Amino acid sequence: MKNWNKIAEANDLRIPETDIERVAPALDALEAAFRPLTKNIPDDVEPAVTFRVFQEDRA
């Protein structure tokens, strides 16, 4: 399990400890479901977030 309190502190997120306790179980569950999925992503798969330079230039 990650220490969400320390992560919040390190990132200066200013989330009260009691609120982190409230979200920790949900984050732990998400972490447990998500982490195994990342193991088998082929190296050449790019994220589905695009930056189209031509459109940026026009803007």
**Phi, psi (rounded to 5 degrees) for 31:** -60, -45
Site pattern 8..27 for another protein (x: CB under 8 A): x--x-xxx---xx-xx--xx
The DSSP-derived string for 47-58 is PS----HHHHHH
Total site size for another protein, rule CB under 8 A: 27
Q: Does 7 bind another protein (CB under 8 A)?
A: yes
Distance between CA atoms of residues 49 and 45, nearest Å: 12
Chain contacts with another protein (rule: CB under 8 A): 4, 7-8, 11, 13-15, 19-20, 22-23, 26-27, 30, 33-34, 37-38, 41-42, 45-49, 52, 55
